[in-house]
Amino acid sequence: MNRPAEQLSATTRVTPAIAGAAHALARSQAPDGSWRAPYTGPLFLLPAWVIALRVCSRLPEHTVAEKMCRRLEQTQRQDGSWGISIDAPGAVYTTVLAYVAQRLLGKPAEETDLRRARNWFLVHGGALGAAPWGKYLLATLSLYDWDGVLPVPPESWLLPRRFPAHPANFWCHTRMVYLPLSWLYGRRAALMPDRNLRALREELYDAPWDAIHWPSHRTRIAETDAAEPLADVWRPASQALALWNRFGSRRLRDRALKEVLQQIRFEDENTQGLCLGPVNAVLHTIVWQFADPGGLRVARHLQTLEREYRCDIDDAIDLQGYHNSALWDTAFSGQALSVAARTGALEDTDELQRTLRRARQFVDRQQIRTNPTHLHRAFRDRTDGAWPFSDARQGWPTADCTAEGLGAWLSLCAATDERPDRRRVRMAINYLLRMQNPDGGWPTYERQRGSDALEKLNPSGVFRNIMVDYSWPECTASVLEGLMHALPHATAGQRRRIDRAIVRGKAYLLDTQRPDGSWYGGWGICFTYGTMFGIAGLRAAGLPPDDPQIRRGAEFLLAHQNPDGGWGETLHHCIEQRWVGSTPSTVVQTAWGLLGLIHGGLARCEGAARAAAWLMRNQQPDGSWPHDAVTGVFNQTCAIDYPLYAQHFPLRALALWHLHKGETQ
Ligand code: LAN
C-alpha cells in the first residue's frame, strides 16, 4: 500500500510518543495512587458557597476573599455577564449571583466590572428575571422575597410514593437539590437584612424594593436564562401551591418539615457529610444554619466545603462540581496505561509497574461494599459492589463509573499479575444487571423511576433533562464493555442474564444512533464523545466492524474531521443538539475521534493516521498535551472541565492505534 510521507513518519514516531505520554501521566499520579484534577466550569457554585458563608456569618478573611473574587473576575464575559458555565452565553442567574458574591466579599458597587455586570442584568430584568435557583439563594439572604419564588412545598415529601410527582421519582441530583430547597421554602428561611444587604436590595432591581409585587414574578425567567422554558402548567400550579403555602394546614407543614430534615440527615449520614453534589452540599449548610444556628452540623458542612469542594488554581479559589473526580480519572488513566504497557513502547517497566500497582490498589479500595442505611426509607437503591465517580466515602455510585471502575480494576489486575476476587466481580456484575432501564439502556445513578412526562415539570429554567434518570448511550456503552470484560468471572446464571442484558443494550444503542450516524453525547462535548462510545458499545455487544451501523458511525467521524487531522466541537453542539460546524481541533476531541475510528475497525485508514499525527504534533516536549478546551458537559447546557482527559485519552488512542494499525481489516 502506498502511504503518504506523514503517515509513515507517524508510524515511526508513535513509540516515543506513547512512552513520553505514559511517563508524564505516571508522574502526575497522586500519592494515594489516584489521578485527580480541579473539577470546575459551572459558575453558579462559587457564589452559592459565598452566600452560604454569609448566611453562617463566616465570610472569609481578606486574602481568601480576594482569591475568590479573582476567580469571578477571570470568568466574567466581555459583555459584563457570567454564563451558567465557562463558554456558555450570559445568564441573569449567574450574573446576579456573581455580583452579589463579590459585593459580600467586600467589593464596592462602583467598581468598574461590577458596574458592567449591574448594567447587564438590569437590562435583562434584574434579579426578577433570574432562573429559580438564583431566587431561592437570594431569598435566604433576604435579597428576594419568598413570595416571588416558584413554590417548592415540603409537603410533596409526604405524598404517597406512587404519586408521579413524589420527589423520590426524580433524578437523584434534582431530588437532592429540591430536598433542602423545600425546607428553606417551607420555613421562609431568611437573614435579617443588615445595612449591606439593604444596600444590595437597591442594586439588584430596577424598581425600589417596596414597590415590587413579588407574586407576579414567580414564574418569570429572563430569556437569557430559559434554555428550558417553564411549561405552561407552572402558572396555575404555582398560584395554587402559593395558596396552599399561605392557607394550608400548619400541622401538616410541621410534619413535612420534620420529614424533610430527617431525609437531609439520611443524606448527610450516607455520604459521610460529603453530599451527592456541590449544590446540596451548599444548601445543607444553609439549612443547618437555620435549623441549628452555629451547631456541629454547620461546622462540619463548612469544613467539607473548605476541605473537599474548594480548589485552588494558581491564585484563585473556586468550588468544584463534585468533591473530586478521582475514581473516574483513575479508571481511565489506569486503562490507558494498561494499554500502553501492552505496546512494548515503555522502557522503565519498574516505574510503570509501581504506577499500575498503586492505581490498582486505589481502584480496589473504592468499590462500595455496603448499602445505604435506611435504604427504602431514604429512597435509595442498593449500592453494594458498585463504584462511584469520586471515592467510596461519598457512597453514590453510577452505572458507568462501576463499569469503568470494574474494567480498570480487571485490566490493572492483569497488568500487575494479581488475581481479582471473584466474589467482588460478581457483586459488581449484579449491580450492573440491576441497573438496566426498561428501554434496554443504562442510566446514571438509579434505574429510571418517573415517566418521561415528568420532564414537563422541570422547574430549573437553565438545565435540560433533569427530572428523570434517562438511559444514555455512553453509560450503556461503558456497561456493555464492562460486562464483557467481567464475563470470564461470572457464574453460569450471571452469564445467561448478561447475554440477555447485552441483547437489549445493543438494541438501545442501535436505536439511539442518529440518522447521520452519530450519537449525541450527554456528558462530553459532544458528538465525537457520543459516537466513540456508541461504536465501542456496539463492538462490545458483538457487532463486527463492517456492520452497516458501525460503518455509518465511523463515516460520520471521517466526514467531520478537520483538514488538519483533528476534531473540534463546542458547547453549542450540546445546546443545539446538532453539528453546528467544526471549530479548531482540540486534543481531547481528536483523541475521541481517533478512538471511534479504531473501535470501528478503521485503525488503518488514512483518517486515523492523520489523527494520530495531529496528536503527536501537538504533544509537548514533556510528553503531556496542552489543556486547550473544556470538553465535559451536563444537562445539555453547562460545561464542566476534566483536565486529565487531555492526558489519558490521547495516550489510550495512540497506544490502541499502535496495536491495531498493523491489523488487516
Ligand atoms: C456528573 C459527573 C460525572 C458524570 C459521568 C460519570 C461522566 C457520566 O457519564 C454520568 C453522569 C455523571 C455522574 C454526572 C452527572 C451530573 C453531575 C453530577 C456531573 C456532571 C458532575 C456535576 C453534575 C451535577 C448535576 C451538578 C450540580 C447541578 C445540578 C443540576 C444539580
Rounded distance from Cα 174 to ligand 1 centre (Å): 11
pLDDT over 70 at 202, yes or no: yes
Tell which atom from ligand 1 comes closest to the C-alpha of 640: 20
For the Cβ of 309 lying below 6 angstroms from any atom of ligand 1, the answer is no
pLDDT score at 149: 98
Domain extent listing, the chain = 5-39+324-661, 45-319
Residues 402, 424: contact at Cβ < 8 Å?
A: no
- Concatenate the DSSP letters of all residues of 391-450 into one string: -GGG--B-HHHHHHHHHHHHHHHHHTT----HHHHHHHHHHHHHH--TTSSB-SSS---S
What pLDDT is recorded for position 2?
41
Quote the CA–CA distance of 475 and 303 in Å, as a whole number: 33
What CATH number has the domain spanning 5-39+324-661? Answer: 1.50.10.20
What string of H, E and C letters represents the secondary structure of 246-304? HHCCHHHHHHHHHHHHHHHHHHHHHCCCCCCCHHHHHHHHHHHHHHCCCCHHHHHHHHH
Mean pLDDT in residue range 580-603: 97
Residue type, 437: N
C-beta separation of 599 from 538 below 8 A: no
Averaged pLDDT score across all residues of the chain: 96
How far apart CA 219 and CA 174 sit, in angstroms, is: 19
Q: What is the DSSP letter of 60?
A: P
Atom 16 in ligand 1: which residue has the minimum CA distance?
634
**Among 656, 655, 660, 661, CA closest to 15:** 655
Catalytic residue flag (residue 210): no
Could you tell me the distance, in angstroms and rounded to a whole number, from the CA of residue 634 to the centre of ligand 1? 6
| Exposed / middle / buried, residue 555 (Cβ in 10 Å: 0-12, 13-18, 19+) | middle
Amino acid letter for position 117: A
For ligand 1, the distance from its centroid to the CA atom of residue 168, given in whole angstroms, is: 18
Best mutation site among 40, 172, 322, 641 for ligand 1, i.e. most ligand atoms within 8 A of its Cβ?
A: 322
Spatial distance between the Cα atoms of 355 and 652, rounded to a whole number of angstroms: 16
Q: What is the pLDDT of residues 328-374, one digit of tens each?
A: 999 999 999 999 999 998 887 889 999 999 999 999 999 999 999 99
Amino acid 406: pLDDT: 98
Q: Is the pLDDT assigned to residue 256 strictly greater than 50? A: yes
The predicted-structure confidence for 61-112, as pLDDT tens digits, reads as follows 999 999 999 999 999 999 999 999 999 999 999 999 999 999 999 999 999 9
CA distance 458 to 456: 6
Give the 3-state DSSP-derived string for 104-143, with helices as H, strands as E and coil as C: HCCCCCCCHHHHHHHHHHHHCCHHHHCCHHHHHHHHHCCC
**Ligand 1 center–CA 632 separation, angstroms:** 10
Atom of ligand 1 nearest to the CA of 634: 20
Burial of 249 (0-12, 13-18, 19+ CB in 10 A): exposed
Is 475 close to ligand 1, i.e. is its CB under 6 Å away? yes
Return the pLDDT at 349.
Answer: 82
Do the two domains 5-39+324-661 and 45-319 of this chain adopt the same fold?
yes
Q: Indicate if the pLDDT at residue 311 is higher than 50.
A: yes
- Which fold, 45-319? Glycosyltransferase (1.50.10)
Q: Give the strand pairing for 316-319 and 632-634.
A: unpaired
Residue 12 binned pLDDT confidence (cut-offs 50, 70, 90): confident
Angle, vertex CA 469, rays to CA 468 and CA 470, nearest 5 = 95
For the stretch 24-35, pLDDT in tens is 999 999 999 999
Distance CA 519, CA 527 (A): 6
**Pocket of ligand 1 contains residue 474 by CB under 6 Å:** yes
Give one DSSP letter per residue of 559-609, joined into a string: HT--TTS-B---HHHHHHTS-----S-BHHHHHHHHHHHHHTT-TTSHHHH
For the Cβ of 636 lying below 6 angstroms from any atom of ligand 1, the answer is no
568 lines ligand 1 (CB under 6 A): no
Cα 348 → chain centroid: 35
pLDDT at 3 over 60: no
Q: At what angle do helices 349-365 and 5-27 cross, to 10 degrees?
A: 60
User: One-letter amino acid identity for 443?
Assistant: P
Cβ(400) – ligand 1 distance below 6 Å: yes
Distance CA 377, CA 383 (A): 15
Residue 171 Cβ contacting ligand 1 at under 6 Å = no
CB atoms within 10 A of CB 344: 12
Residue 531 CB partners (closer than 8 Å, separation 6+): 517, 518, 519, 521, 553, 556, 557, 592, 596
Task: Provide the percentage of residues in the chain whose pLDDT is more than 70.
Answer: 98
pLDDT tens string 379-403: 999 999 999 999 999 999 999 999 9
Give the angle 180-186-192 at the CA atoms, nearest 5°. 90
* Residue 665 pLDDT greater than 50, yes or no: no
Which of 391, 400, 439, 641 is catalytic? The answer is: 400
346-370: string of b/e by CB count within 10 Å (b at 16+)? beeeeebeebbbbbbbbbbebbbee
End-to-end CA distance of the chain: 14
CA distances from 621 to 18, 22, 29, 76, 464 (A): 12, 13, 19, 33, 41
Q: Which atom of ligand 1 is nearest to the CA of 280?
A: 31
Q: Which residues of 590-622 are buried (b: 16+ CB within 10 A; e: fewer)?
A: bbbbbbbbbbbbbbbbebbbbbbbbbbebbeee
Count of other CB atoms within 10 angstroms of residue 327? 30
**What is the per-residue pLDDT for 529?**
98
C-alpha cell at 382: 442498593
C-alpha 412/C-alpha 489 separation (Å) is 15
Q: Is 635 in the pocket of ligand 1 (CB under 6 A)?
A: yes
Protein residue with its CA nearest to atom 4 in ligand 1: 523
Query: b/e per residue, 284-308, with b = 16+ CB within 10 A?
Result: bbbbbbbbeeeeebbebbbebbbeb
Q: How many angstroms is it from 656 CA to the middle of ligand 1?
A: 28
CA of 125 to the centre of ligand 1 (A): 30
Q: Using the 8-state DSSP alphabet, how is residue 306 labeled?
A: I
CA distance 88 to 469: 24
Region 589-613: what's the mean pLDDT? Answer: 98
In this prediction, residue 664 carries a pLDDT of 40
Ligand 1 centroid from CA 173, angstroms: 8
Which residue's CA is the nearest one to ligand 1's atom 2?
389
Which residue, judged by its Cα, is nearest atom 7 of ligand 1? 523
Give just the sign of the alpha carbon dihedral 72, 75, 78, 80.
Answer: negative
Q: Look up residue 2 and give its three cell numbers.
A: 502506498
- Nearest to residue 505, comparing CAs of 437, 434, 595? 437
Residue whose CA is closest, atom 11 of ligand 1?
444
Q: Are 466 and 167 in contact (CB under 8 A)?
A: no
Query: Could you tell me if 562 and 516 are in contact, meaning their C-beta atoms sit under 8 angstroms apart?
Result: no
Beta carbons of 44 and 638 less than 8 angstroms apart? no
Q: In the predicted model, is pLDDT for residue 1 greater than 70?
A: no
Please state the length of the chain: 665
Q: Ligand 1, from 43, 44, 444: best to mutate by most atoms within 8 Å of Cβ?
A: 444
Confidence of residue 4 (pLDDT cuts 50, 70, 90): low
Give me the phi and psi of 34, to 5 degrees please.
Answer: -95, 170
Output the pLDDT for position 328: 98
Give the integer Cα–Cα distance in Å for 555 and 8. 23
DSSP state of 85: B
Q: What is the pLDDT of residues 161-196, one digit of tens each?
A: 999 999 999 999 999 999 999 999 999 999 999 999
Give the span between the Cα atoms of 71 and 67, in whole angstroms.
Answer: 7
Torsion of CA 576, 582, 587, 592, to 10 degrees: 70
**Does the C-beta of 640 come closer than 6 Å to ligand 1?**
yes
CA of 314 to the centre of ligand 1 (A): 25
CB-based contacts of 487: which residues, under 8 Å, 6+ apart?
495, 498
Q: What's the gap in Å between 9 CA and the centre of ligand 1?
A: 40
- Which whole number is the average pLDDT over 415-425? 97
pLDDT value at position 662?
Answer: 78
Residue 321 beta carbon below 6 angstroms from any ligand 1 atom: yes
